């Protein structure tokens, strides 16, 4: 039975199929939630992980399995890959909701605000504006990337995992990691080119 037929059976209320789904994919979903939490610095948030795990399963089943029915298996996408993407997206959204907003004017114990700390008196105003504009455009181009590519950048840039660590973390070959990084950089360069700008890595 292929993944699409399996999903149809689950969505039609076949209890045996759903029990098999839970048995087969629970650990996968839980592990991906835990992985994203760890990368985002929430490794010890067991209660949040458990809550989100329940939330994801509920989202798949509510409204007569409406979310699960969106799986189409296009372009050779397996159910496991689709669930991985759903889980990563949902987890990143959940973590964003957990993070408190930081006021740019709120002062720390030394009486400095975030605004004060961001000011760089050594850089000429023009350079600061140009750098800020580049960062805005880069953020916009990153936002247009596929979620998998954004997750790759999060691990590599923000969490500072080197390419060997990425290979182990993602469970792929070093060649696949190098190719993916190269592809992401090309997409960012193309995005900048479309804005009439040059991105130099």
- Residue 40: the pLDDT is 72
Say if CB 37 and CB 48 are below 8 A apart.
yes
**How far apart (Å, rounded) are the C-alpha atoms in residues 156 and 133?**
23
**How far apart (Å, rounded) are the C-alpha atoms in residues 91 and 94?**
5
Q: Which domains does the chain have, with CATH numbers?
A: 3-98 (1.10.1740.10), 123-194 (1.10.10.10)
Residue 65: C-alpha distances to residues 11, 12, 54 (Å): 5, 8, 15
Give the pLDDT mean for 163-184: 87
- Residue 7: the pLDDT is 93
**How far apart (Å, rounded) are the C-alpha atoms in residues 35 and 88?**
9
pLDDT tens digits, 76-103: 788 988 998 889 888 888 887 776 544 4
User: Which of 106, 113, 91, 105 is CA-nearest to residue 39?
Assistant: 91
pLDDT class of 121 with cuts at 50, 70, 90: very low
- Residue 103: the pLDDT is 47
Percent of the chain at pLDDT above 90? Answer: 24
């Amino acid at each position: 039975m292929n993944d699409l037929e399996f999903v149809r059976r689950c969505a039609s209320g076949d209890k045996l199929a759903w029990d098999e789904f839970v048995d087969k994919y629970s650990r996968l979903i839980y592990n991906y939630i835990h992985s994203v939490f760890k990368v985002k610095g929430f490794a010890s948030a067991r209660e949040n992980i458990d809550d989100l795990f329940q939330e994801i399963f509920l989202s798949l089943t509510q409204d007569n399995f409406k979310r699960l029915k969106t799986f189409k298996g296009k372009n050779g996408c397996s159910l496991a890959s689709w669930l991985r993407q759903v889980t990563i997206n949902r987890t990143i959204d959940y973590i964003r909701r957990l993070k408190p907003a930081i006021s740019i004017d709120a002062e720390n114990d030394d009486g400095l605000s975030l605004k004060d700390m961001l000011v760089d008196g050594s850089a000429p105003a023009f350079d600061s504006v140009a750098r800020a504009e580049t960062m805005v455009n880069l953020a916009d181009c990153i936002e247009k990337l596929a979620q998998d590519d954004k997750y790759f950048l999060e691990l590599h840039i923000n969490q500072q995992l080197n390419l060997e660590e990425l290979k182990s973390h993602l469970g792929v070959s070093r060649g696949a990691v190098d190719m993916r990084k190269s592809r992401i950089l090309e997409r960012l360069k193309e995005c900048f080119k479309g804005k009439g700008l040059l991105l130099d890595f």
